[in-house]
Each structure stands twice: as C-alpha cells, then as structure tokens.
C-alpha cells in the first residue's frame, strides 16, 4: 500500500479537514435514559453543606422561604462573610450519591439560580473530587440570576472533560472587594437532559500518535449514552478508508471495534463514531490522530528552509530505512517533475544519504517546494523544504507622470494618488492540533510554524 507521512512543518500551508459521516449499524439496545436530577430545597437542604476550606463560609446552609427564585417555594440560604478581599470564596457542597461515581452523560447542561445582595459578586458551579472548575465565573447582577453551564462532550465551559464519573459539586460564589455578612441564596438546581445520544471517543484521544505491530488492529473505544427514555440502537465508525460496527457492553456503556491502522496508512487520520438511538436521532463524535506505523524517515538537510537557489544545486536528504521493508526508492519532486536520487548504503546508525543535482533554471523564479519521497514495500514517506528560486534579475521601472496618469515603463499604474499600505509582523505559531496540509505535510501538535 502507498501512504503519506511527513515529519517537517511548512511555513506556507493550507489545512485540509476531511471529516466523514458514519452510517448507523444495528447493535443490541443498551443504556436506557436517566431519571431527572435536580435540587429544589422543597423539603430541606437536599444534603448541601458548607465546607470550611472555603474561607468565606460563615455557617451551615439552611432551607429558606424568605428569598426564593421566581416560581419556587424555597431556596438554600448560605451564610457568608465577605471581607473585602480580591477573591473571597464561599460555597455549598453536594455529594451526589455518597461518593459513588454518577454518569452525567445523559445531561447536556446544569442550571441554577443565585441571589446576589450587592454588586461585585460572581458565581459558578465546580465539580469536585477531582477539583474541576469551569473556564470562567459569571458576574451577578443584584437580585436573582440564572446561570447555565454546558456539560456536553463539546462544552466550552468544561473543555475535554468526561462527566461519566461525577461525584461532587459545589455552588460557589466569589466576592471581589466586597464587604458583606449575611446569606447568599441558591435555588432551582437542575441538570438538563440531552435529546440526542451522547458520544465520547475514549480511544484514541485527539492528537494521539498511534502505532500497532503489523497484523494487529487498534482498539477503538467510545462511551455512548442515550437520552432519557430512549435506547441506543447502533454505533458505527467511519474513517477515510474503512468503516464498521462497534459492539456494546451494556454494563459499562462502552462500545469497541478493531481499527486497522495499517490499512489507514501513515499520516493524519480522522475517525468518526456515530450513535443512533431508538427514535433514529444520531450523534457523531470525531478524533483526529497521527498514524505512524512506518519506521521509514526522511529529512532534507540541503537546501535549508527559505534558502535562495540559482543554477545547479545539490539536494541532500537523510533517509532511515524501515528494516522490515528493505531499502526504499527515493525521488526528488519539484512541482510535476520528478527525478531519481542516489542512495548510499546505511551508515553505522542505519542512516542512508540520498543526493540529486537539481537544475533550478527549469523552475520559475519565486517560491518553490522541494519534496524528497522515499518508498519501500509498505509505505511512502516524504519531507518538504520550501525555497526561493532566483535565476533572473527582477525588472525595475521608474514611476513617472504621463499626462494625467502615472506609468511604470509603459504600463499605467492601477492606483493614482496617495496609497496607504499597512506593514504587518508575522510571528511563529505553535500548532494546537495535529493537521495535514494540502500537499500531505503533517503538522504535529506542538510543531512551530515559522514565517
């Protein structure tokens, strides 16, 4: 099979994202919906306490009917003592089920109401054990405020978090430069159910680098939860080169399938997992990874990135063959043209040197990409170096007036009068996720793109 991989980043790139949809494939029903979850304080404090390690707490919370949210009959009154500090914290803690893990996957959001007696108070909801605050506090207006946090798989409030093992939550308030001693009121805490299946890809994780021995497959695994009142009828996966059904475990809600990475080929791959429920509603989650089964590597050492070339020049690359598949064939590609490169015998470190003479006068002046590709019995691997070709002197013309217009040589200028140009500074950028450019170049997570 022929596949593509690269180990070097480019300065000029266009990222290609190919995300495939996946058909649903029938499987045994699993994971029925979950009962409503919330706290209204109608009969008491619903088990909320005031942890002493939140320094602005001033006593245990109590049920109150003095100040309640609109439409409610009771609330939770939390005594606090805000002393004018920059970050005075108080909060009411709730152990959801005696510290037993609770799967919150069937819920898309959590919402609660909080009463602020004065300005400069903020609030949030923190999951605990382990400590997991949202990305930001919410500033409160004086009076009742309704706050909602997204806890779905693609949540911006809790990015990359898995709420299938939740144990504890804290309704937290923070005073900033506020002096106040008295109650803060909480009310109408509710988890809002999702109406679609919830899919979390557990393996692989986004941006993982994957490799398996030849003849083996990677174990694709996803946790799937149905919305309340529904069941999961099927889970399927699809990538660029294969698709299949996942098998479910009713006890855990995990679904698994073998994923043939060697069939996928080296390079960036995206796998999509789609779950369909008993009403036909489907949800898809994706993970983009770097597949790196080949041990063949290529690295261009000459010319260097952004080097100016003219006339005949030597192109040199270091090639480390994959011992399982013998010495590769190596070619130099420039646009549509290709020529073979001579490959030396590997040295004591197993590295061979590929060389070729390139006549740059066959290329147009300007930016050019030189690609050195090595192909063994299983893979094709390449590296790319961007260079500048300069074989001709640039044409220079003096701008002069010609009647009512300006001309450069004999060509009229497109713009007449004052022209303003903004000079900008390009800075190096660190790649946040594994990506692949239009020419197949892999940009690994953490790779620095230089300008």
Cα–Cα distance between 199 and 277 in angstroms, integer? 11
Q: What's residue 36's pLDDT?
A: 74
Instruction: Give the distance, in angstroms, between the CA of residue 420 and the centroid of all CA atoms in the same chain.
Output: 39
Q: What's residue 14's pLDDT?
A: 31
Residue 165 has pLDDT above 50, yes or no: yes
Cα–Cα distance between 314 and 302 in angstroms, integer? 7
Fold category of 297-392 in CATH:
Immunoglobulin-like (2.60.40)
Residue 58 has pLDDT above 80, yes or no: yes
Lowest-confidence pick of 211-215, 342-346, 416-420:
416-420
26-31+196-291 is classed in which CATH architecture? Sandwich (2.60)
Cα–Cα distance between 364 and 358 in angstroms, integer? 13
Q: What's residue 64's pLDDT?
A: 97
Q: If DSSP codes are grouped into helix, strand and coil, which group holds residue 70?
A: coil
Lowest-confidence pick of 111-120, 152-161, 180-189, 339-348:
152-161
144-150 average pLDDT score: 98
Is 87 in contact with 176 (CB distance < 8 Å)? yes
Tell me: the pLDDT tens digits for 222-264? 999 888 889 999 999 999 999 999 999 988 889 999 999 999 9
Is 310 in contact with 348 (CB distance < 8 Å)? no
357-383 average pLDDT score: 92
33-62 average pLDDT score: 91
Confidence of residue 190 (pLDDT cuts 50, 70, 90): very high
Cα–Cα distance between 112 and 39 in angstroms, integer? 9
Nearest to 330 by CA among 346, 348, 314, 318: 318
Task: Residue 97: count other Cβ atoms within 10 Å of its Cβ.
Answer: 10
Cα–Cα distance between 331 and 316 in angstroms, integer? 11
**Which residue's entry shows tokens 């996942």?**
246
Residue 119 has pLDDT above 70, yes or no: yes
DSSP state letter for 347: -
Cα–Cα distance between 80 and 222 in angstroms, integer? 43
Q: What's residue 392's pLDDT?
A: 86
Looking at every residue in the chain, the average pLDDT score rounds to 86
In degrees and rounded to multiples of 5, residue 260 shows phi and psi of -80, 95
- Return the domain boundaries, the chain: 26-31+196-291, 37-193, 297-392
Tell me what percent of the residues of the chain surpass a pLDDT of 70: 87
Residue 80 has pLDDT above 80, yes or no: yes
Q: Which residues pair with 314 in a beta bridge?
A: 357
Q: What's residue 18's pLDDT?
A: 33
Task: Residue 298: count other Cβ atoms within 10 Å of its Cβ.
Answer: 24
Tell me: the pLDDT tens digits for 408-444? 777 777 655 555 555 555 566 777 787 777 666 777 7
CATH topology identical between 26-31+196-291 and 297-392: yes
Q: How far does the chain reach from its first CA to its final CA, in angstroms?
A: 35
37-193 is classed in which CATH architecture? Sandwich (2.60)
């Amino acid at each position: 099979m022929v596949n593509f991989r690269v180990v070097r980043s480019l300065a000029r790139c266009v990222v290609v994202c190919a995300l495939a949809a996946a058909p649903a494939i029938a499987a045994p029903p699993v994971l029925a919906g979950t009962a409503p979850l919330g706290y209204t304080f109608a009969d008491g404090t619903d088990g909320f306490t005031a942890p002493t390690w939140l320094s602005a707490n001033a006593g245990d919370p109590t049920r109150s009917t003095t100040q309640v949210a609109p439409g409610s009959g009771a609330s939770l009154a939390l005594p606090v003592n805000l002393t004018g500090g920059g970050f005075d914290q108080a909060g009411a803690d709730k152990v959801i089920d005696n510290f037993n893990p609770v799967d919150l996957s069937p819920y898309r959001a959590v919402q609660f109401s909080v009463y602020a007696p004065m300005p400069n108070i903020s609030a949030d909801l923190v999951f605990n054990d382990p400590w997991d605050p949202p990305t930001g506090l919410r500033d409160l207006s004086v009076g009742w405020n309704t706050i909602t946090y997204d806890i779905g798989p693609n949540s911006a409030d809790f990015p990359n978090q898995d709420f299938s093992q939740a144990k504890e939550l804290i309704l937290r308030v923070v005073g900033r430069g506020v002096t106040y001693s008295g109650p803060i009121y909480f009310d109408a805490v509710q988890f809002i159910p999702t109406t679609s299946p919830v899919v979390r890809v557990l393996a692989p994780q986004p941006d993982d680098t994957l490799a398996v021995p030849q003849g083996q497959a990677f174990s694709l695994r996803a946790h799937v939860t149905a919305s309340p009142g529904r069941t999961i009828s099927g889970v399927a996966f699809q990538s660029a080169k294969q698709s299949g059904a996942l098998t479910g475990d009713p006890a855990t809600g995990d679904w698994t399938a073998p994923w043939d990475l060697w069939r996928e080929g080296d390079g960036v791959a995206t796998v999509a997992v789609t779950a369909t429920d008993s009403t036909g509603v489907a949800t898809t989650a994706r993970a983009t990874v770097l597949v790196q089964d080949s041990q063949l590597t290529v690295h261009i050492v000459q010319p260097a990135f952004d080097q100016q070339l003219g006339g005949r020049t030597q192109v040199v690359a270091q090639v480390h063959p994959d011992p399982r598949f013998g010495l590769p064939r190596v070619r130099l590609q420039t646009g549509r043209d290709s020529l073979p490169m001579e490959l030396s015998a590997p040295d004591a470190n197993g590295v061979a040197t590929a060389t070729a003479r390139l006549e740059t006068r066959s290329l147009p002046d300007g930016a050019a990409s030189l690609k050195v590709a090595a192909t063994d019995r299983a893979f094709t691997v390449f590296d790319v170096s961007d260079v500048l070709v300069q074989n001709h002197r640039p044409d220079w013309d003096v701008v002069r007036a010609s009647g009512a217009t300006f001309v450069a040589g004999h060509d009229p200028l497109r713009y007449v009068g004052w022209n303003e140009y903004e000079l900008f500074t390009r800075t190096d950028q660190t790649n946040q996720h594994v990506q692949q450019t239009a020419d197949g170049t892999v940009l690994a997570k953490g790779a620095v793109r230089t300008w």
